[in-house]
Structures are given as C-alpha cells and as structure tokens.
Structure 1
Amino acid sequence: MVDYEVTVYTGDRLNSTTLNPVHIKLVGTDGESERMWLRSLVIFSGSVSTYSVSCPNSLGQLVLIELDKRQFFLLPNDAWFPDKVEIKSPERDIYTFPIYCWINDSETHRFREGKALRIFDESNSLGQHARKQELRQRSVDYGWNFYYSGLPYTIKADGPTSLPNELQFSFTKTTEFAFTTVTGLAELQLKGLDDNRENWESLDNINEMLRFKRTVVSDYVQEHWKEDEFFAYQFLNGVHPTLIQRCKTLPKNFPVTDDMVFISDGSNLSQELKEGNIYLCDYKNLDGFPANTIEGIQQYLMAPLVLLHKRPDDKLMPIAIQLKQTPAEDNPIFLPTDSTYDWLIAKIFVRSADFSEHQINTHLLRTHLLAEVFVVSLLRNVPMVHPLYKLLIPHTRYTLHINELGRIRLMGPIGVFTKFAGSGGETLMKIMVSSLSSITYRSLCLPDDIADRDMQDLPNFHYRDDGLQLWNIIFKYVQGVIQYYYKSDDEIQLDSELQTWIWDIFKYGFLSQPQTGIPQGFTTVSELIKFATMLVFTSSCQHAAVNSGQYDYGGWMPNTPATLQRPPPTAKGTTSEATMLQTLPPINVTVQGMATTWLLSRETSDFVPLGHYPEDHFSEEIPRQLQKEFKVELDRLSITINNRNKDLEIPYTYLDPKKVENSVAI
C-alpha cells in the first residue's frame, strides 16, 4: 500500500462552510484511487485539513482529482467553496489543484493539476477527455445572448442571481453595495428630495446638498466649475480624458476665424494651428439623436465642438464653442468674450454632452460591455488548466454580476439612466451602436490611442503619464508569462483554444467587423501579448480612470448635468442666471444622479487592487515570481504618483495602482 497526503484548503469567505460529506478521488497516469470520504463533521471556512488516501500501488503522475459533496440525511444541501487541494505523493512530489469555485450540488466535479497545459501539451487521454468535458459544460453554463442589434453580445442569464455562484458578488459586496438609488439617497441624506420636481432656485440651494458627502475634488469642483482653466483641465484629468485631440486643421463645420478669437503674444489662430497649440473636442457621435423625455418634459442633447488653446505658460484654455454640428445663424459660436451667462451656458451644454459621451461610450461600452465579452469568451473557450486562463481569470472578478445589475438598475425600463438622463432610453442604445461602429483596436491600446490623438507632449496630462507607465508595467508582466509558455509563433498557431477565444471576441464583441482592426486570430507571440495587455489594462486601469472620479466631478451637478431641460440659446445676449437655473435639471433628477454616482464611485471592503492575486492559479515558480515582480513595480509607481500629487492643486489619484481594481467590479 502507498499513501497520498491530501490537504484541502477551504475558502476564507462567508458561507463556504459545509456540513455535507465531501468525497475525493485521485486520478493518475497509472490508475485511480477509490472514492474516499474526507472524514470531518464540518468543513469550516478558512480551514486547512489534511487526510490520507491509501492505494494498492502508485498512481503515477497525478492528472486530476474528482470532488463531490452529497447531502447527508436531514442536513441541508449547503454550498462549499474550496480554494485548492494539495497532494504529496509517495514519491514526495507535490501536486496543486486550484479550484476556487462553489460546489453546491451532488455532481462529480473534476479539477486538473495546477501546471499550465496548452491543448497540444495534452498527451494523456484522461487529460484530453477532462479538457473536452470541461469546455462542453462551460459552453452550456456561459452562453451568448443577443442583447440589442448592433451591440456586443452579453452573458445569457436571467439576472445576476442566475449566474454561477463563483461569478456573483460575495456576501460582503452584496451587503455593502445595494445597487439602488434608495441606498444612495439615504447615505447622502437626500431622502424625500427624490420626488421634488421643482427647479432649483439658486446655486446655493444645490450647494446645500453636498454638505453630507464631500471629497477634496468635489469641493474644488464646486468652487472652480465656472473657470475656463478648470473647464479645460477636465478634458485631460477628469473622468473623460479620451476625447481631446490635437487639431492642425479646423473641421469644415467649425468655422472659427482669426478675428473671432484672441490669442496672446501677438499670435493668431492660424499660426497656433500650425505650431500645434490648438486642441479639439468633437462630440459628433451624439449628433442627430433625439433627447429623452423625462416626466413628460422634453430634454435637450447637443453635439458640440470645443476648441482649446495651449498658452505659452502651458495652461489649456477654451477659446470657442459651437453647440451643434451644422453651422447656422441660429447656431452661434460662443467665445470667452461673450456675456458671462452666454459663455457659461455654452460650457454647461458641453459638460452635459460630455456626461453622455463619457457614460455611454467611454465608460459603459468601452469598459463594461467589452470586458464582459472578454470574460464570456474566456469562460466558454479556455479551460482552467490553460495558461491564458490562469493569466486572465483574476481580471474577470464580478464583471458579469455588475453588468447584469447595470442592465436592470441603470439601462432597463425602470433604470436610473433611462428615467433621469437626457440620453437615456432608446437613445442610449442608438448612441452605443454608433459608438461601437467607430471603435478601433488602436483606440483600445493606450500607446496607439495617445499617438493617434497626437497627445504625446501636452504638459500636465496625468492620465496619459500614469496610464502609459501602467501599460508598460502590465505589458512586461504579460510578456513574461506568455513567453514562458509560448516559445515560438508556431505554438501560437497550433493552439486551437486560443484561436477560438479570439474569434469569439471578434464575432460576438465586435460583430465580425474587420475595419475595427480587432484580431480574428493570432499568428505571432507578440500579437497575443499586445491583445492580452489591452484586455488587462481595459478591465482594470481604463475602467478605474473613467469610473472612480464620477462623484468627484459629478457630485456638483452644474459641472456635469445628466440632462438639460431647455434648448440652447440660438442668439447671443439672451441668457441670464434665471435661464441657467431653468436649463439645469430639477431637484429630483439632480439627487438621483448624485446618489448613483456616489454608489458607483465607492470602494468596497473586498476590493482587490491591481497586481494582487489572492487565488493561486499558477503553480510554476517563474509565473509566480513574475507576479511578485509585477506587484513590486506597481508599488513603486504608486509611490511616484503619490509624490507627484503632493505638488498638484488637484491630485490625480485614479490610476494610482493601489486604487485600481483588478477587474470591472463596480
């Protein structure tokens, strides 16, 4: 007889304890053990329990284990969450079997040994069979769902609670993150104002709402939101830093002339265009879409063009705003020299358009929905034993759950966005369809996007500076892991699971549109490295950049109104403070927006920062060492960013690695 020492690690999470009897079977290249009961009355959360499994002869190389949990007499059929199983063989070899999933039925579950194997590495028939069986079941558990014509497919599910348990929020996150505006209203002490449909009587009344939940940045916004310098600053380091681009030639539909704008130091617009000191924000993606109707009142959504100038002191300042795409007499070009309220209302319409473009395209589509495509394709097509699965699975945590909630609580018929945003309802879907058709692979890869927007050298662009450093650190880590497992381009081409994964993303995420530049397959190692880097960056850093500051910049509503209830002025000299207050959203719409952005900007206690890997999916030493080096580099960058922020009037914290979550989880 020979003995195998079996150590079972149960997850240290709420409700992972089980009273049900658990059985294990060891399967190796030379045989298998009997199914053995792990003799414990209770397997507790966080417990580490060791057992002995005896066999007549050695099982050879262990390939997999089988676990099952059966209901015991009158005891409840409760779920169990094992983290991993470690086995010491009679030959003193150590085998690790990562699990990290809930077992809540009486079925037999098979788990592979932790060493990563590509499909063409599977020389053992047991492993080949287990691999096929796993993917067959995953194709059932993780189906594609046609959500809306022209949009990426989603997970096939009937709400978040229908998802497999390991994809759902933990009890802790569920408790802390009650995704309802009622919770937000209560926390902000605004309950009772959510039914008040009156307009604001003054800005001081709006300011009263901020007294309960304030941040350093929200206070700054409230004080400086009217200022041109701060208006321009937000295009670089607010929650929407991806629209601004250098402008060398004015768009034909934006007829700003030298005579209109004042340029200091004796220069003019034409000269500044040539010297590369002019920048453009163009909201053409919003053009032609009807605004929402909120509580019976027609709303207004513009598609403005904004021209900005970098002065010799490196400050960026707005110099012209046109609120509609087509030039006309009733579509004046507003200038800083216009009356105070003409210019301020023009900026308010821009900020409201920025809310819609940011939330729909940059935030919802380009992070949440694309991350969902990445997750579903991974779960459908890549088995747990594959190195790509081990690399990417930490960056999928909670994504499907939060998106299912979003489709109900934000985008659905009773969702906050549908009921209270000027671009909500059917317009939201149409804008997203238009946005998807304009997405390119290069725009998802930060170094390419910065180059294409010609934004490499504009000073004080902290999103760019921090983001590029993060991209390079992620790239180095991803490159190390992938090159450890793939030594040649031929191996990439031989990996059919890898090819199916990227084809699924191209087909269901980008609707088989070749003009996007999204790979349809991989032929080289470098192609896989770049795509995996983009995926990790999008699911962590990019989402943090466009999500975390929502309350900072939107808590003071006039700076980022979710909707506007009067049309823009068609002639100069027709505005006043009263006009502005009538244009801004009413009290109930304001408080609903505040409650939602407050909830979406919060960090829960089970937050997992970028570079932290509480689950051990890799068992080989080199990938594990690469993870440690990855975290060290992120920690160094965090120190650098915090030192820089000490000297900034407005600290830019959203890409501090310690504040970037590993996945789209909120």
Structure 2
Amino acid sequence: MVDYEVTVYTGDRVNATTLNGVHIKLVGTDAESERTWLRTLVIFRGSVSTYTVSCPNSLGQLVLIELDKRQFFLLPDDAWFPDQVEIKSPEQDRYIFPIHCWISDRETHRFREGKALRIFDESNSLGQYAREQELSQRSTDYDWDLYYPGVPYTIKADGPLSLPDEVQFSFTKTTEFAFTAATGLAELQLKGLVDNKENWQNLDNINYVFRNKDTPLSDYIQEHWKEDGLFAYQFLNGVNPTLIRCCKTLPKNFPVTDDMVFIPDGSSLSKELKEGNIYLCDYKNLDGMPANTIQGMQQYLMAPLVLLHKRPDDKLMPIAIQLKQTPAEDNPIFLPTDSTYDWLTAKIFVRSADFTEHQLNAHLLRTHLLAEVFAVSLLRNLPMVHPLYKLLIPHTRYTLQINELARKQLIGPTGVFTLFAASGGEALTMILAKLLSSITFRSLCIPDDIVDRDLHGVPNFYYRDDGLHLWNIMFKYVQGVIQYYYKSDDEIQQDSELQTWIRDIFEHGFLSQPQTGIPQSFTTVPELIKFATMVMFTSSCQHAAVNSGQYDYGGWMPNTPATLQRPPPTEKGTTSEATMLATLPPINVTVQGMATVWLLSRQSSDFVPLGHYPEAHYTEETPRQLQIDFKAELDMLSIAIGNRNQGLEIPYTYLDPKKVENSVAI
C-alpha cells in the first residue's frame, strides 16, 4: 500500500463550515483511488485538516480530484466552501488543486491540478475528458439571454438567487447590501419624504434628506455647485470624465461666434480654437430620445452642447451652452454674461443630461454590461485550468449578481431609474442601443481614448493621469503572465478555447458589429495582451472612476438632477429662482435618487482591492511573483496619489489602487 497525504483548506467565510460527510477520489495517469471519506464530523470554516488516502499502488502523476459531500442522518444538508486541496504523493511530489467555490449539492465535482494548461497541452485523455465535461456543464449554467434588441446579451437567470453558487454574493455582502438599502429607505420614510410629491420651496430644505450621510466632497459640492469652475471641473474629474474632447473646429450645429464669448487677455474664440484651448461636450446621443412621464407629468431630457475654454491660468471654464442640437430662434446659446438664472438653468439642464449620459453610457453600458459579457463568456468557454481563466476570474467577482439586482431594482419595470429618471422607461433601451453602436475598442482602452479625444494637454486631469498609470502597470502584469504561457503567435492561433471566448464576446457583447473594432479572433500575442488588459481595466479601474463618486457629486441633487419637469427656456430673461425650483424634481423623486446613489457608493466590508488575490488560482512561481510585483507597483502609485492629493482643493481618490475594487461588485 502507498499513502497520499491530503490537506484540505476550508475558506474563512461565513457558512463555509459543513456538517456533511466529505469524500475525495484521487485520479492519476496510471490509476485512481477509491472514493474515500475524510473522517471528520465537522469541517470548520478557516480550518486546515490533513487526511490519508491509501492506495494499492502509485497513481502516477495526479491529474484531478473528485469531491462530493453527503448529508449525515438527521444533520442538516449544508454548503461547504473549500479553498484548495494540497496532496503529497508517496514520491514526495506536491500537487495543489485550487477550488474556491461552494459545494452545495450531492453531485461529484472535479478539480484539476493547479498548473495552467492550454487545450493543446492536454497530454492524456483523462484531462481532455474532464475539460470537456466542465465546459459542457458551464455552457448550461451560464447561458445567454437577449435582454433587449440592440443591447448586449446578459446571463440567463430567473433572478439573483437562481445564479450558480460560485458567482453569488457572500453572506456578508448579501447582508450588508440589504441592510444598507433598508436603512436608507427607512430613514426617508420616517422623515415623510418618500411619498411627498410637492416641489422644493427652497434649496436649503434638501439638506434635511441625508444630513448624517454627507461626505466632505458632497458638502463642498453643495457649497460651490453654482460656480463655473466646478461645473467645468466635473467634466475632467467628476463621475463622467469620458465625454469631453478637444475642439479645433466648431460643429456646424453650434454657431458660437467670436463676438458672443469673452476670452481673457484679448484673445478670441477663433484663435483659441487653433491653439487647442477649446473643449466640447456634445450630448448628441440623447437627441430625439422620448423623455419619461413621472407621476403623470411629462419630463424633459435635452441633448446639449457645451463649449469650454482653457484659460491662461490653466483653469477650465464654460463659455457657451446650447440645450438642443438644432440651432433655432427658440434654442438660444446661453453665455456666462446672461442673467444669473438663465445661465444657472442652462447649466442645470446640462448636468441633468450628464446624469443620463453617465448612468447609461459611462456606467451601465461601458462597465456593468460589458463586464457581464466578459464574465459570462469567460465562464462558458474557458475551463478553470486555462491560464486566461486564472488571470481574469478575480475580476468577475459579484458582477453577475449585482447586474441581476440592477435589472430588477434599477432598470426593471418597477426600478428606481425607470420610475424616477427622465431617461427611464421607453428611452432607456433606445439610448443603450444607440450607444452600443457607437462604442469602439479604442474608446475602451484609455491610452487610445485620450489620444482620440486629444486630451494630453489638459491640465489638472487626474482621471487621465491616474488612469494611464494604472493601465501601464496593469499592461505590464498582463504582458508578463500571457507571455509566460504563450511563446508565439502560433500558440495563440492554436488555442481554440481562446478563439471561442473572443468570438462569443464579439457576437453577444457587441452584436457582431465590425465597426466597433472588437477583435473577432486573436492572431498575435500582443492582440491578446491588449484585449485582456482592457477587460481587467474596464472591470476594475474604469468602473471605480465612474461609480465611486456618485454620492459625492450626486448627493446634492441640484448638481445632478435625474430628471427635470419643465422644458428649457426658449428665450433669455424668462427664468428666476421660482422657475428653477419648479424645474427641479419634486421631493419624493429627489430622495429616491439620492438614496440610490448613496447605496451604490457604499463599500462592502469584503471589498477586494485591485492587485489583491485572496484566492490563489495560479500555482506556478512565475505568475505568482508577477502578482506580487503588480501589487508592489500599485502600492507605490497609491502613495504618489496620496501625496498629490494633499495639495489639492478637491482630492481625486477614485483611482487610488487602495480604493479600486477588483471587479464590478456594486
């Protein structure tokens, strides 16, 4: 007889303990063991337990293990969360089997040895069979569903709790998320605000909504929201830094002239355009979209154009606003020299349009929905043993469940966005379909996007600065891992699983639209490196940039109204404080929006920062060292960002690696 020393590591998470009997079978190249009961009555969370599995002869090289659990008599049938199994063979070889998933049924679960293998590396039929069986089951568990024509496909599920256990929230995440949502709503109900459909009589009363939940920045926004400097600053470092671009030729539908605008130091608009000091924000994607009806009242959603000027002191300032796309007598160009409320009202309509552009484009579509496409395709097409699965799986954590919740509670028929936003209802899916057709691969890669928007010369653009640093650090890490496993372009082309993965993304994420520039296949190692970097960046850094500041900038409703209930002025001199208050959303719509952005800005206690890998999917020394180096570079960047922020009036923290979550998890 020969003995195998089996060490089982159980995850240190709530409900990971099992009272069920756990069995293991070792499968090698020469033979397999008997199904063996691990002789213990309880396997506790966080425990490390060692057992012996005896066999008549050596099993050869271990290829996989099989785990199952069975209920003991009257004891409850529960779930178990093993992190990994480590086995020492009679030949003193050490094998590590990463697991990191729940086992909650009575089925037999197979897990491969931890060394990453591409499909053409499989040297025996046993490994190939296990690979095929895993992907066959995953293609059933992770199927596609058409959410709406023209919109990226989603996972097929009957709600969050129908998702496979391995992608659901932890107990901690579930409890905290529900508690946070309930306490926020309960507070508003106690204050009598949830059902109050009256308009605000003065802005100071908005302080009463969430007085104890203010952040330093939300307080700053409340104090300075009317100022032109803060209005312009938000296009660079607010929650939607993805729209602004350098403008050297004015759009034909935005007829601003030299004599309309004031340019300091005796310059002119024409001169500043040539010198690259003029910037444009164009909300053309919202043009013609039907605005929602809320509580029986027609709402208003504009598609404005905004012109900004970089002054000699490097400060960006707005110089002209047109609220509709087509020039007309009843569509005036508003200027800072207009009356106080004309100019402020124009800016409010821009900020409301920016709410829609941010939530539907920069946030929902370009991070949440695309991250879901990347996750579903990964889980369907790449087995756990594949090197790219190991690279990307940490960046899918909780994404499928948070999106299922969003489809129910935010953008579903009774969701907050549907009921209380100008772009909810019929307009929502129309806008998403229009936006998807305009996405390009280059716009998802921040170095290319900054070049295409010609934004290298903008001062005080911290989203750009921190984002480019993060991209470069991430690119270096991804490059190291992929080049370790793929030595030539031929190996990329031979990997049929890799090709299926990208084809699935092209078809179900980008609806087979070639103009997006999304690859339909991979032919070179650099192509794969860039695409994998984009997937990681989108699912972590980009989401943090457009999500984490939602309450900072939206906690003071007048700065980011989700809807407006009066049309924009058609001539100058017709606005006042009273018309502004009547234009802003009523009390109950305001508090629903504020409660939502507060919830979506909360960080869970089981938050996993970028570069942290609590679940060890790689077992080889080289990729593990690359992860250590990756984290070290992120730590250095975090220190640099912290030092810079000490000198800023408004610190930019959203891309500090310590505050970037590894995945789209909220």
Structure 2 length-normalised TM: 0.99
In 2, Cα distance between equivalents of 1:541 and 1:175: 25
Quick check: 1:305–1:324 contact (8 Å CA) kept in 2? Answer: yes
Q: Match for residue 2 of structure 2?
A: 2
Q: Match for residue 104 of structure 2?
A: 104
Q: CA deviation at 1:205?
A: 1.1
In 2, Cα distance between equivalents of 1:10 and 1:273: 63
Code of the residue aligned with 2:552 in structure 1: it is D
Q: CA deviation at 1:184?
A: 2.0
Code of the residue aligned with 1:505 in structure 2: it is I
1:89-128 alignment, distance < 5 Å: 89-128=89-128
Quick check: 1:395–1:536 contact (8 Å CA) kept in 2? Answer: yes
Residues 1:179 and 1:258: Cα distance change in structure 2 (over 3 Å): farther
Where 1:538 maps in the other structure, the secondary structure is helix
Q: Match for residue 240 of structure 1?
A: 240
Where 2:158 maps in the other structure, the secondary structure is coil
**Bigger shift: residues 211-220 or 454-463:** 211-220
Code of the residue aligned with 2:353 in structure 1: it is A
Q: Match for residue 327 of structure 1?
A: 327
Q: Match for residue 251 of structure 2?
A: 251
Q: Match for residue 57 of structure 1?
A: 57
Quick check: 1:7–1:87 contact (8 Å CA) kept in 2? Answer: yes
Q: Match for residue 476 of structure 2?
A: 476
Q: CA deviation at 1:41?
A: 0.6
Where 1:137 maps in the other structure, the secondary structure is helix
In 2, Cα distance between equivalents of 1:500 and 1:619: 25
1:393-472 alignment, distance < 5 Å: 393-472=393-472
Q: Match for residue 522 of structure 2?
A: 522
Quick check: 1:185–1:591 contact (8 Å CA) kept in 2? Answer: no
Q: Is 1:278–2:263 an aligned residue pair?
A: no
Q: CA deviation at 1:191?
A: 4.3
Quick check: 2:245–2:453 contact (8 Å CA) kept in 1? Answer: yes
In 1, Cα distance between equivalents of 2:103 and 2:182: 34
Q: Give a deviation string over 1:274-325, Cα, whole Å, max 9, x none.
A: 0000000000000000100000010000000000000000000000000000
In 2, Cα distance between equivalents of 1:182 and 1:67: 39
**Bigger shift: residues 53-62 or 203-212:** 203-212
Q: Match for residue 352 of structure 1?
A: 352
Q: CA deviation at 1:104?
A: 1.1
Code of the residue aligned with 2:584 in structure 1: it is L
Quick check: 1:289–1:427 contact (8 Å CA) kept in 2? Answer: yes
Q: CA deviation at 1:210?
A: 4.3
Q: CA deviation at 1:189?
A: 7.8
**Bigger shift: residues 71-80 or 310-319:** 71-80
Where 1:148 maps in the other structure, the secondary structure is coil
Q: Give a deviation string over 1:122-143, Cα, whole Å, max 9, x none.
A: 0111000000000000001100
Q: Give a deviation string over 1:512-531, Cα, whole Å, max 9, x none.
A: 00000000000000000000
In 2, Cα distance between equivalents of 1:650 and 1:129: 57
1:500-579 alignment, distance < 5 Å: 500-579=500-579
In structure 1, the gaps of 5 or more residues are none
Quick check: 2:188–2:194 contact (8 Å CA) kept in 1? Answer: no
Where 1:177 maps in the other structure, the secondary structure is helix
Q: Is 1:261–2:297 an aligned residue pair?
A: no
Quick check: 1:189–1:212 contact (8 Å CA) kept in 2? Answer: no
In 1, Cα distance between equivalents of 2:15 and 2:294: 43
Quick check: 1:4–1:53 contact (8 Å CA) kept in 2? Answer: yes
Q: Match for residue 153 of structure 2?
A: 153
In 2, Cα distance between equivalents of 1:379 and 1:283: 36
Q: How many pairs does the alignment contain? A: 666
1:42-191 alignment, distance < 5 Å: 42-178=42-178, 182-186=182-186, 191=191
Q: CA deviation at 1:209?
A: 2.7
Q: Match for residue 656 of structure 1?
A: 656
Quick check: 2:256–2:333 contact (8 Å CA) kept in 1? Answer: yes
In 1, Cα distance between equivalents of 2:179 and 2:320: 40
Where 2:178 maps in the other structure, the secondary structure is coil
Code of the residue aligned with 2:364 in structure 1: it is L
Q: Match for residue 387 of structure 2?
A: 387
Question: Over the residues paired in the alignment, what is the CA RMSD in angstroms?
Answer: 1.0
Where 1:193 maps in the other structure, the secondary structure is coil
In 2, Cα distance between equivalents of 1:51 and 1:136: 32
Where 1:344 maps in the other structure, the secondary structure is helix
Code of the residue aligned with 1:62 in structure 2: it is L
Q: Match for residue 636 of structure 2?
A: 636
In 2, Cα distance between equivalents of 1:99 and 1:145: 28
Quick check: 2:638–2:656 contact (8 Å CA) kept in 1? Answer: yes
Q: Give a deviation string over 1:34-70, Cα, whole Å, max 9, x none.
A: 1100000111111110001111111111000011111
Code of the residue aligned with 1:379 in structure 2: it is L
Q: Give a deviation string over 1:97-136, Cα, whole Å, max 9, x none.
A: 0011111111111100000000000011100000000000
In 2, Cα distance between equivalents of 1:631 and 1:189: 44
Where 1:34 maps in the other structure, the secondary structure is coil
**Bigger shift: residues 212-221 or 371-380:** 212-221
Q: CA deviation at 1:208?
A: 3.1
In 2, Cα distance between equivalents of 1:262 and 1:345: 20
Quick check: 2:462–2:652 contact (8 Å CA) kept in 1? Answer: yes
In 2, Cα distance between equivalents of 1:655 and 1:281: 23
In 1, Cα distance between equivalents of 2:411 and 2:179: 13
In 2, Cα distance between equivalents of 1:594 and 1:316: 28
In 2, Cα distance between equivalents of 1:208 and 1:407: 30
Where 1:90 maps in the other structure, the secondary structure is coil
Quick check: 1:310–1:316 contact (8 Å CA) kept in 2? Answer: yes
Quick check: 1:188–1:213 contact (8 Å CA) kept in 2? Answer: no
Where 1:427 maps in the other structure, the secondary structure is helix
In 2, Cα distance between equivalents of 1:179 and 1:572: 48
Q: Match for residue 19 of structure 2?
A: 19
Q: CA deviation at 1:75?
A: 1.9
Q: Give a deviation string over 1:54-100, Cα, whole Å, max 9, x none.
A: 11111111000011111222222211111100000111111000011
In 2, Cα distance between equivalents of 1:197 and 1:213: 23
Q: Match for residue 37 of structure 1?
A: 37
1:594-613 alignment, distance < 5 Å: 594-613=594-613
In 1, Cα distance between equivalents of 2:15 and 2:581: 51
Quick check: 1:185–1:191 contact (8 Å CA) kept in 2? Answer: no
In 2, Cα distance between equivalents of 1:70 and 1:207: 56
In 2, Cα distance between equivalents of 1:400 and 1:190: 33
Q: CA deviation at 1:190?
A: 6.2
Q: CA deviation at 1:213?
A: 1.0
Q: CA deviation at 1:187?
A: 5.4
Where 1:86 maps in the other structure, the secondary structure is strand
Q: Is 1:215–2:195 an aligned residue pair?
A: no
In 1, Cα distance between equivalents of 2:488 and 2:232: 47
In 2, Cα distance between equivalents of 1:116 and 1:318: 53
Code of the residue aligned with 1:663 in structure 2: it is S
Quick check: 1:367–1:543 contact (8 Å CA) kept in 2? Answer: yes
Code of the residue aligned with 1:583 in structure 2: it is T
Quick check: 1:247–1:280 contact (8 Å CA) kept in 2? Answer: yes
Code of the residue aligned with 1:221 in structure 2: it is I
Code of the residue aligned with 1:423 in structure 2: it is S
Q: Is 1:293–2:293 an aligned residue pair?
A: yes
Quick check: 2:306–2:321 contact (8 Å CA) kept in 1? Answer: yes
Quick check: 1:314–1:459 contact (8 Å CA) kept in 2? Answer: yes
In 2, Cα distance between equivalents of 1:632 and 1:187: 42
Quick check: 1:180–1:409 contact (8 Å CA) kept in 2? Answer: no
Q: Give a deviation string over 1:172-223, Cα, whole Å, max 9, x none.
A: 1111111885432335686420100000001111133342211111011001
Where 2:265 maps in the other structure, the secondary structure is coil
In structure 2, the gaps of 5 or more residues are none
Structure 1 length-normalised TM: 0.99
